[in-house]
Amino acid sequence: MTELDVAALQRRLADFATARDWQRYHTPKNLVAALSVEASELMEIFQWLTPEESARVMEEAETAHRVTDEVADVLAYLLQLCEVLGIDPLAALDAKIDRNERRFPRHMP
Amino acid sequence: MTELDVAALQRRLADFATARDWQRYHTPKNLVAALSVEASELMEIFQWLTPEESARVMEEAETAHRVTDEVADVLAYLLQLCEVLGIDPLAALDAKIDRNERRFPRHMP
Amino acid sequence: MTELDVAALQRRLADFATARDWQRYHTPKNLVAALSVEASELMEIFQWLTPEESARVMEEAETAHRVTDEVADVLAYLLQLCEVLGIDPLAALDAKIDRNERRFPRHMP
Amino acid sequence: MTELDVAALQRRLADFATARDWQRYHTPKNLVAALSVEASELMEIFQWLTPEESARVMEEAETAHRVTDEVADVLAYLLQLCEVLGIDPLAALDAKIDRNERRFPRHMP
């Protein structure tokens, strides 16, 4: 699906919200709260698991679907937040990795 | 920057972690915890703001930089989580919007 | 109810967990994750509300019950965390207010 | 310290906020956001620890102090939220344990 890029998803999300008159709820503060709530719903799946169990969550179909669904929710609110704030999320991450490469020198053999 | 796509950023993040021997910390459970912590650091910027003030956070350069930086951190952990779990985040979101379009019918004029 | 103090509630919570063989899940890390998840479930109730609407959540019986229930869940995990770590939560807060009174001088008329 | 009870701490917190003119920021929504942020700051201390390491956080003085400090912050916002909403947190938890005892039957020998 060649059109599946971040900008296309942001357009779908904006159209979805506009069609339902939800954009009035989408202040940056509310979107950040929703993002944080969705990140916690993802964590709820993992909260009682051992590290080893957490590495196997995708082996069971229903859990794999829940995890994938929550990942989608986190990304949805992150992209909507970036849209209303005018932030390019991929450029922001690229710049952050540049900064981290200077901040944390790599192990030398 | 034509190469700035999600897969390229995931490779940069994986190389970064491998070079510092950090991948042993990157269990799905730990990455989800880190994702949630970063989402809360983003919320900390907004917690005492009115809705109106939250809509203007990008007008002040230092705050705009902090917000962009935290957005990058959230995306970094989300992409690393997807990498270790074998989830395609854009496809997950695309499928979720499909489901939501069936679940929440749009307003009719 | 004169016996309703923090120590009595901690005993009830410990007895409850022991009777169900849940204490093996109650590592400090897991209890902190659960505390954070419950705090987010509380926030989910408020995420789309205006400040004014948020001030009226207790006026509607069902919402008031949900808020009270989530407050109880947050306190339950906080008290269980304190129990396993040997922290006295009331003394911790008392000491913190002392420090904050030195750190943030009060407004002078 | 016989006076160290929840109501006394709520009075100290209210006096502290009033003296600094901070109560106008203390909408229920903002207090819930702050509570969630503080719970995540607590989690940040634990996010890369193994379950075994997490059980030993109080052995090192500086980490023990950080954990105790964040516990105090979580409790501070929880008590302030309860104050503005008129919720008795200990009664709420007592009632919740009652409900959970009916909902989760105990293991029988």
Q: Count of alpha carbons within 13 Å of B26, Cβ hemisphere only?
A: 19
- Whether residue B1 lies inside any domain: the answer is no
Token duo for residue B38: 């970063």
Distance between CA atoms of residues A1 and C82, nearest Å: 51
Q: Which among D36, D50, D51 has CB closest to A36?
A: D36
Using one digit for the tens of pLDDT, what is the confidence trace for D39-95? 999 999 999 999 999 999 999 999 999 999 999 999 999 999 999 999 999 999 999
Mean pLDDT within C11-33: 96
Nearest to A42 by CA among A78, A81, A86: A78
Q: Count of alpha carbons within 13 Å of D11, Cβ hemisphere only?
A: 5
Q: Higher pLDDT residue, C107 or A43?
A: A43
Contacts with C53 from chain B: Cβ below 8 Å: none
- Whether residue B81 lies inside any domain: the answer is yes
Residues belonging to chain A with any Cβ–Cβ distance to chain C shorter than 8 Å: 25, 30, 33-34, 36-37, 39-41, 43-44, 46-48
Return the pLDDT at D4. Answer: 74
Report the domain count for chain D: 1
Do residue D4 and residue C91 have CB atoms under 8 angstroms apart? yes
Q: Which among C25, C40, C47 has CB closest to A30?
A: C47
The region, left, alpha or beta by phi > 0 then psi within -120 to 50, assigned to residue B45 is: alpha
Q: Chains with 3 or more CB pairs closer than 8 angstroms to D?
A: A, B, C
Q: Hey, how many other C-beta atoms are within 10 angstroms of the C-beta on D95?
A: 14
Percent of chain D with pLDDT over 90: 91
- Whether residue C26 lies inside any domain: the answer is yes
- Whether residue A108 lies inside any domain: the answer is no
| Amino acid (one-letter) located at D54 | S
Distance between CA atoms of residues C63 and C49, nearest Å: 12
- Whether residue D1 lies inside any domain: the answer is no
List all residues 6 or more positions away from B77 whose beta carbon is below 8 Å from its beta carbon.
Answer: B31, B32, B34, B35, B38
Return the pLDDT at D1. Answer: 42
Nearest to C38 by CA among C4, C76, C93: C76
Contacts with D26 from chain C: Cβ below 8 Å: none
Do residue A16 and residue B97 have CB atoms under 8 angstroms apart? yes
Mean pLDDT within C76-84: 98
Residue at token pair 């105090």: D72
- Whether residue B109 lies inside any domain: the answer is no
Q: Chains with 3 or more CB pairs closer than 8 angstroms to C?
A: A, B, D
Q: Which among A55, A90, A95 has CB closest to B27?
A: A55
Containing structural domain, residue C74: 6-103
Q: Higher pLDDT residue, A106 or C104?
A: C104
- Whether residue A109 lies inside any domain: the answer is no
Show the beta-strand stretches assigned E in chain D.
Answer: none
Using one digit for the tens of pLDDT, what is the confidence trace for C57-78? 999 999 999 999 999 999 999 9
Question: From the CA of A61, how many Å to the nearest CA of chain B?
Answer: 13
Return the pLDDT at B105. Answer: 82
Percent of chain A with pLDDT over 70: 94
pLDDT band at B2 (very low <50, low <70, confident <90, very high): very low
Percent of chain B with pLDDT over 90: 91
Token duo for residue D58: 């109080």
Q: Which among C33, C36, C50 has CB closest to B51?
A: C50
Tell me which chain D residue has its CA closest to the CA of residue B41.
D37
Q: What is the pTM of this model?
A: 0.95
Candidates D25, D37, D38, partner chain B, best to mutate (most B CBs within 10 A): D37
Contacts with D25 from chain B: Cβ below 8 Å: 48
Q: What is the dihedral of CA A54, A57, A58, A64, to 10 degrees?
A: -130
Nearest to B54 by CA among D70, A29, A106: A29
Return the pLDDT at C105. Answer: 83
Distance between CA atoms of residues B13 and D103, nearest Å: 44
Contacts with C37 from chain A: Cβ below 8 Å: 40-41, 43-44, 47
Question: From the CA of C109, how many Å to the nearest CA of chain A?
Answer: 33
Contacts with C59 from chain D: Cβ below 8 Å: none
Distance between CA atoms of residues D60 and D49, nearest Å: 14
Tell me which chain D residue has its CA closest to the CA of residue B26.
D48
- Whether residue C1 lies inside any domain: the answer is no
Contact A31, A80 (CB under 8 A): yes
Question: From the CA of B11, how many Å to the nearest CA of chain D?
Answer: 22
Average pLDDT, rounded, for chain A: 94
Q: Which among B25, B34, B40 has CB closest to D37?
A: B40
CATH of the domain at B69: 1.10.287.1080
Name the phi and psi angles at B43, rounded to 5: -65, -30
Do residue A50 and residue D50 have CB atoms under 8 angstroms apart? no
SS3 readout for chain B: CCCCCHHHHHHHHHHHHHHCCCHHHCCHHHHHHHHHHHHHHHHHHHCCCCHHHHCCHHHCHHHHHHHHHHHHHHHHHHHHHHHHHCCCHHHHHHHHHHHHHHHCCCCCC
Q: Hey, how many other C-beta atoms are within 10 angstroms of the C-beta on B37?
A: 26
Return the pLDDT at A12. Answer: 96
